Structure 1
């Protein structure tokens, strides 16, 4: 049964311009339809975001920004982006329609490809990526599903800058996750970063798959595949396909190097290396049939075989590309539109002649039929008189007064509500309830939803407010408290807001983040209190506007007992008024008995004194090596860590 018959989008006209003709594919973020641009009379592909994602303003905003970036690309190997817009709850992207299939379809149907065919595909892919890289764009999701091969053999790359990770509401499955992680660069997995070299890694993996018919890393779960990306190099294609030449092994190793600095700078550089590798291959190497090929015939890539791979229009084939229009008896919409009538029941008596098997209708049967006819006639008269219907007029994007007049002229009542719209001008109709074209009684009411214009809020003035109060004020205005930076201020009390970014009065969309700069108070230079009496140190720090905390455990130090041995922060540091300085109080030097090392060799004396916790300074008379005197002397007490002088002769 054709699934397009169940899709409510089929037959709609989005934005009063794009007529949706058939559903092509369904993905995690959007559904792709074949549509007709009624204004320019051309077939195109319409990607409509799923309603569950269209309510996420941040996601929609990113979708729109990146669509604009992708539309800047004008290259023969890039799927063109024509338009982007919204129609009520529908957010859509109008793009070039490519009749054909994807590289995934080719790999599924043909297995591994001959090196010549693989290079014929990867070179235009690199040309497309090179144009994007030089324009400052990174694809971030290069994979066979995003490489389109037209029926005319042209290779195009789709979904530039539009594919990102989608949260749980996109409903992705383990299989789709595996399909994506197989081409992620190690730096995307480990650090979440993706520059031009991440696209090259995906191309290297894709080239390996084309040459061998298998992905270089495989596993039953995404975690297993991710681990291999991080810890294992992409193997040489010749290990699985012995006919692959050494230049292609080197090319795959260069593109899919685990460390990004070992890859070329961008796709333009890799394209140059790819063409150089092709030039080093012999004709036999270019036309070698890999072991994993499925009945390869040498037909040009994108020819009849490739076209047939995508001709069934099934959603399981791919979720990212338009499908060729089916024709004739294979068109799904024509496949189930007619049913053969049931066979006629045999007449009693074997259907013989003379009419002997036929029965004349009985009188009670005639009366029952007449009664039934009267009932049906009465129901029909009631329906016509009491249930008259009309259709809701199409008044979208009309000024409120004009739309109301159209509805009233149709004999319907008008009710007006208002809502915000980023696209429809203030005072014009965004939507109607019922929707245009829906059936409504002649006595019914049509609700016009009129645009208030873009929804914006102003950043409130929260200067000098405590941080908690400032956050409450921002949330109350429909904004989100953003990054908090703390800095010194002599004017604003500690913990209160100094400034906001954007500044007060700036207009922003609801939900936008506002950064806050919060005061740490006036700066205070921490005084040096090491060696001071504990009480005097407390007073000096408090006079400077600082709080004092004394550690309960005292330590041995060179400072006198009861004085400050250490402080944190140290002297000279800059703290905020009201910050705390922690003091450690000395319990005096740790006195240790000095070992007697006279008449010992220098090495033995050093080991003995250092083992007791002292430092050693040697003074030599002539060239002797025996200790004849020491200071302090053996048996005396000295602070642990102090220096003992020995004289040698």
Structure 2
């Protein structure tokens, strides 16, 4: 069934610019469409707020804040925002269109993923959120619907519609909480506040869902799910998928700790833990094949079983087809919603004779996972080492400052070596990785190499204005940048082939490899003289005398100019050229000779048609008295040749 039928925006041109072609998805606050920017002729995604919310100034302000916040992130794993505007009741964002599917689509089709694929998706997601956290922003609505997987395998985070500065809370003036029920952190539900650790919690829930194919807390109503997030820990994923490594249990437990103080501080810290866990797992542990299961326990027709055939060079799964455009799998628990902020519901009554419990029984393996999670979190704030004979387990110091990392390692009795590398996600001066990695075994008093972040790689655009193009190109490439589009412009002040301007301007910092556009001087503008009809020699002298070069076209052409003279030129008379530019001249072969058709005896009309079709003009000579409609003679005999375009006179018969 076509879900776009009846949608008033499909086929409509929004804001006299964006032609809406199809509806992609419907969410709690907005609908997303595929559209074409008619000015730039490119496909993009339009996120249009539901008209009923456009009257709410707070929602409109949040929409505009999304555009501004995301536009300045400039991260390869964040869906870019191009434009924001209003057309009547429609408030919209114009965004990058990612051809592919969402992580929700993948989970719906595939169910649980192999650990390797889950971590491959988690890392770019955390890198994108890390960039937002570094910019002082918190997403507040992380869920599989907002993770886009392109047809080329790229992973991007979308829908920063609830983004807000870290130091503000999540409630509106009316006391409501915004977010998606299944992924809200306990402090969002209980206190209406959210910082970067709320995003960490949501990512932990998403990681659990990728590893098991189901959400950790389910219920038939939002209230039941809210209660479980407040009062029950997220269970270890190995309880649902036997064979998963305890390190994965610990990773999920650390990210979803109900006390935000026990979670990693932000997405960058969680990214460090994810990388550490990946390094500690063997190929067998990364390639555990989960049982085939539909997401959220819903029965679905089983699709092709890809789980055992994932190529390690491309472990991010793909779906066979995009799902219908509808609202988040049809599940109200997946919608971004506004929940009235009320005290948490009381726990269910305890049956007579039963001891009260804080949550459902947890298997022994779950207790071990929680203890491991505590160790992972404490690794960021204290000494974590275990002596085993002559070996020491390397403490986790990822994302710590150099001073703190050295303190932890030396406290474990280990030496330290330091290296530095650039990093787009780890703050300058913090640890990117260690060798051996966290949890690795090293001989007592051995040395651990820590790799410190030098911050994002940056290259400054050099000042090459006024320099010859070749020298400017060398200087730009020497700065770690590349020369992009080269435009040319006349200038009477800057020498020909020297740089007039750069974009970005000199002094601006960009990522290495960024293209710098150059505007190069064409020199002073010269008016091209008219040499049509001149001999080749005279034409060449006239053009070279103006500082122009001459090229004679290989093939002469028929023209009304004398044979051997100039029949045409490019650029034409009056156009402008730069000194040293080439003017191409074409030589005349004279007029084309065409055979004249014999029209004697024909009517005047037939004679005109025949002569005109042969390329001649026609003149009619009629007798003064009694002209007849029959040609008696013609100025050029039929069968003879005459210059094409000449006039042929026909003479009509006269008399009674």
TM-score normalised to the size of structure 1?
Answer: 0.45
Larger Cα Rg: Structure 1 or Structure 2? Answer: 1
| Richer in helix (by share) | 1
